[in-house]
Amino acid sequence: MTSLFKQSPGRRRGSDLESGKGENSDSDSDAFSIPAKNASVERLQQWRKAALVLNASRRFRYTLDLKKEQETREMRQKIRGHAHALLAANRFMDMGREQGVEKPVGSATPAGDFGIGPEQLVLMSKDHNVSSLKEFGGAQGLSELLKTNVEKGISGDDDDLLKRKTIYGSNTYPRKKGKGFLRFLWDACQDLTLIILMVAAVASLALGIKTEGIKEGWYDGGSIAFAVILVVVVTAVSDFKQSLQFQNLNDEKRNIHLEVVRGGRRVEVSIYDLVVGDVIPLNIGNQVPADGVLIAGHSLALDESSMTGESKIVNKDANKDPFLMSGCKVADGNGVMLVTGVGVNTEWGLLMASISEDNGEETPLQVRLNGVATFIGTIGLIVAACVLVILLVRYFTGHTEDEMGGPQFVKGKTKIGHVVDDVIKVLTVAVTIVVVAVPEGLPLAVTLTLAYSMRKMMADKALVRRLSACETMGSATTICSDKTGTLTLNQMTVVESYAGGKKTDSEQLPATITSLCVEGIAQNTTGSIYVPEGGGELEFSGSPTEKAILGWGIKLGMNFETARSQSSILHAFPFNSEKKRGGVAVKTADGEVHIHWKGASEIVLASCRSYIDEDGNVAPMTEDKAQYFRNGIEDMAGRTLRCVALAFRYYEAEQVPTGEELSKWVLPEDDLILLAIVGIKDPCRPGVKDSVQLCQNAGVKVRMVTGDNVQTARAIALECGILTSDADASEPTLIEGKSFRALTDAERDKISDKISVMGRSSPNDKLLLVQSLRRRGHVVAVTGDGTNDAPALHEADIGLAMGIAGTEVAKESSDIIILDDNFASVVKVVRWGRSVYANIQKFIQFQLTVNVAALVINVVAAISSGDVPLTAVQLLWVNLIMDTLGALALATEPPTDHLMGRPPVGRKEPLITNIMWRNLLIQAIYQVSVLLVLNFRGVSILGLEHEVPTHATRVKNTIIFNAFVLCQAFNEFNARKPDEMNIFKGVIKNRLFMGIIVITLVLQVIIVEFLGKFASTTKLNWQQWLICVAIGVISWPLALVGKFIPVSKTPLSNKLKCWGKNKSSGEGSL
């Protein structure tokens, strides 16, 4: 019975980290328990073997297909082996080139309007043939053959795009078709019990026609067959709709958006819209979206492990190793690439076309519910077996009565055909009990509610990449959030500046400072400015910080293109979140070398030994002047401004390395000259304070982890409500990253609970905080956008990547992508996570009530009278209400504010709570009592004594069936609100729920009034209908009264465990 009381869908790690066991420890004795991330194949196989399954093709549809997963791994190995062979061949050719042996290269063969055909491009890219590239004139010559411009890209008009797609192909690959409706229909037919019922229906049909003729004899067998077909069709339709939802969500997950240069401006396009000839800027964390060659780059390094399987970082050079493979990630630096191959003309495209990506995924809750289904199903099988034996024994001993009150079987007198027919009916009832008792729909209800939740979360700007994250989010106890773009709007503008040794505005700067600032801003950036040809507003691209500083440069009088043309970049050190700064070495027109740095104000200021004063002269940085600037930084930071410093230094041109040494050159970062410190305003998002308060009320602590200045972080935290007063703004509540980093693990664990704000943190500090909080037993959600956030996103229970500011590396390491980068969307994800768990609990309560009532009624009746009041067809209809329709009605309830008034779902909280036990037992006991009274005393209670016995029995059984179904319909309202008094709150808004209730009631009326021969029912008069409705309606006030019965806070599972231990210890003492 322990399967019913396992841990909640919060992260499980073997036996949790607190116990010292690893996350993937397989020593857990419970088969129906898997970790939410990275479950081992052994653990997945273990629960599959332990589960009681009637229809494997349906039950395991949305779980990981272990066979396909193995095939995928083998295919990846083949592709990687091919990639290794290519790399080896390239090294061999490189050696040949070094020895002067050049492979002969043919001239470019035109294709359509272009100077080179797709075959030559593909061959050159796959072979990484540098000789061919040089023969074509390098990246510049290749761009001319492809009619593109290395700076402005292709024109991007529709005709040009169509021509390129026609000749070179599109950036898509053939996908394996999803299952059609007929396949789902076939899967639904695989249920063992339904197969047995169909066989029984056919046998009954044949015997009925033989003994009673075709006019009357086909009803018994035909009605069972019709009921089975109805169950199969409804099940298939429901499953097919779920499949389409998952398919749409998977398409959305694959649709990466990226920046390309077209017509001189940077525009965002879908990865599927890339064409050969496109020019693409690459930055840290980007995925290489197609095969191509490097036009220019600075310290560009790729992680090619997705293709080669090796985690070695490969440095790329525009001259020696310019070829870029689709699917690789940018690990460092930046660059610009020219696309030469798309779709199936790339190794990545071939890999994706040859494997099935959507290979399913089981979630911890899904596996736990398989445990519940197995437990209930086992009991159901035992009960069905008992009913079968009892009914057969009573039948063959002459204790089963026929319609006239005589024995149904008389040895030597009853015809063999009648005996077979009667035995088939007994078998049919027993098998139908199994159908009702084994809740096949229970584990699938998780898939239903997850599909529904994922679709709705998309509307709430959250894209779920891993199903289990939906469940785990409901257990989150803390959220470690970034500041920029998540808690703030990410709409940055420079509003203050310090330059010339004082606080100033852009109009008052000396010419020396202005020219050096413009040079640094134009060259030390990953952003750009597009000037429309016909005039109009300038278009800025890049990160919000870059755009803000570029905007400030425009105020200084900067002409972006002119400023970039007046000097050339020698070497660049891209912005690094560890060092909090980025630099560039440039050579001016007169031969001077300037090294420009830009980054965190106090860090850059600490490296400055001088500054340019208001007269434009270099002055020494005295302690008083440094303190003046530090005070200015603190003042701006205290008013929520992000502070960025610009500095530079002169460098001897003769000392600049050349050749290969230049790419390894570490830019000097000492003896800098301060140019300016700017304060950038990034307002808090409207409503973020309310969202933070909502989380705090829900028992979810919000922590801010930011790379910004501690004072800026403090000011924003006060504005957002993360800190409530200045008194809170002291260690350890407010801590700097380097202070936290310097502590031991034990010391970090002591204070991590108290931390609300961490400023000047590095990605590694975020990882250390996540690890510490998890050791403390927290379920941690973490937001991240940078490449270096990937370890923290992966380590966290739920990794939340930013959809706008996030890199592809961060997104691939995450579980959920927040599409609008808004903290309010993170809170909505928490609501949906809790809703998933709550909806499953509602469905469990409803289904177990039906299970208990149906089993007890049929078993008691079978034992006492040898007959069952609920026939096979009726039980199949109840099963349809209970499984498919019940799941649709209850598993798709939208989240309510009430959910955010509860604490998080604990790791060890039982799946079936004491409140649920109380509710379902009250309803089950009521239904069983009333219906058994009707079964044994119904004829007299209903005033049917004067009716013909056969008719009276049929009316009584019809009322039992009708009342039972109506009880379930009314109990669905109770199940909506297990712990609330008002069960009707919001019910009108849930159209699906109301629609299912109406459909259930309409079909019930049709079954009773018009399908008597099929369902073994008879028409009821209005008084009898009122009796049935009254029996159903009583469940509402009964549920209300039941909620006043107090329940213990100690879970029933804990009491049973304690009782078991006490009993075993007591036996031991005896």
Q: Catalytic positions, please? A: 482
From the list 734, 739, 744, the residue with the least C-alpha distance to 775 is 744
From residue 146, give the alpha-carbon distance in Å to each of 154, 167, 319, 484, 828: 9, 11, 19, 40, 47
Contact present, 787 and 802 (Cβ < 8 Å): no
Question: Is the distance from CB of 970 to CB of 881 less than 8 angstroms?
Answer: no
What is d(CA 982, CA 833) in angstroms, rounded to the nearest whole number? Answer: 23
**Residue 297, CB-side half-sphere exposure with 13 Å CA sphere:** 34
- 219-254 vs 181-188: helix crossing angle, rounded to 10: 130
**Per-residue tokens: 882:** 């209970």
CA pair distance 74, 78, nearest whole angstrom: 6
Sign of the C-alpha dihedral computed for residues 239, 241, 246 and 247 taken in this order:
positive
- 122 Cβ partners below 8 Å, 6+ apart? 341, 345
Distance CA 603, CA 34 (A): 46
What residues form DSSP beta bridges with 943?
Answer: none
Q: What is the DSSP letter of 884?
A: I
Half-sphere exposure of 187 (CA within 13 A, CB side): 20
Separation between Cα atoms, residue 764 and residue 768, nearest integer Å? 6
Q: d(Cα 234, Cα 872) in Å, to the nearest integer?
A: 18
- Between CA 377 and CA 879 the distance in angstroms is 14
Number of neighbouring beta carbons within 10 Å of residue 727: 8
Buried b (16+ CB within 10 A) or exposed e, 676-703: bbbbbbbebbeebeebbebbeebebbbb
Q: What gap in Å lies between CA 33 and CA 44, rounded to an integer?
A: 9
DSSP string, 1031-1060: HHHTHHHHHHHHTTS---SS-HHHHHHHHH
Record the tokens describing residue 229, joined without a space.
């077909």
Alpha-carbon distance 619 to 673, whole Å?
Answer: 9
Q: What is the spatial distance between Cα 861 and Cα 864, in angstroms, rounded to a whole number?
A: 5
Residue type at position 465: R
| Nearest C-alpha neighbor of 390 from the set 381, 399, 380, 402 | 399
Alpha-carbon gap, residue 888 to 993, rounded angstroms? 8
Cis omega (within 30 of 0) for bond into 407: no
Q: What is the dihedral angle through the alpha carbons of 724, 730, 731, 734, rounded to the nearest 10 degrees? A: 50
DSSP per residue, 26-84:
---S-TT---SS---HHHHHHHHHHS--S-HHHHTTTS--HHHHHHHHHHHHHHHHHHH
Residue 33 has φ and ψ, to the nearest 5°, of -150, 120
Half-sphere exposure of 758 (CA within 13 A, CB side): 28
Name the 3-class secondary structure at 850: helix
C-alpha 950 chain-centroid distance: 58
CA distance 789 to 808: 11
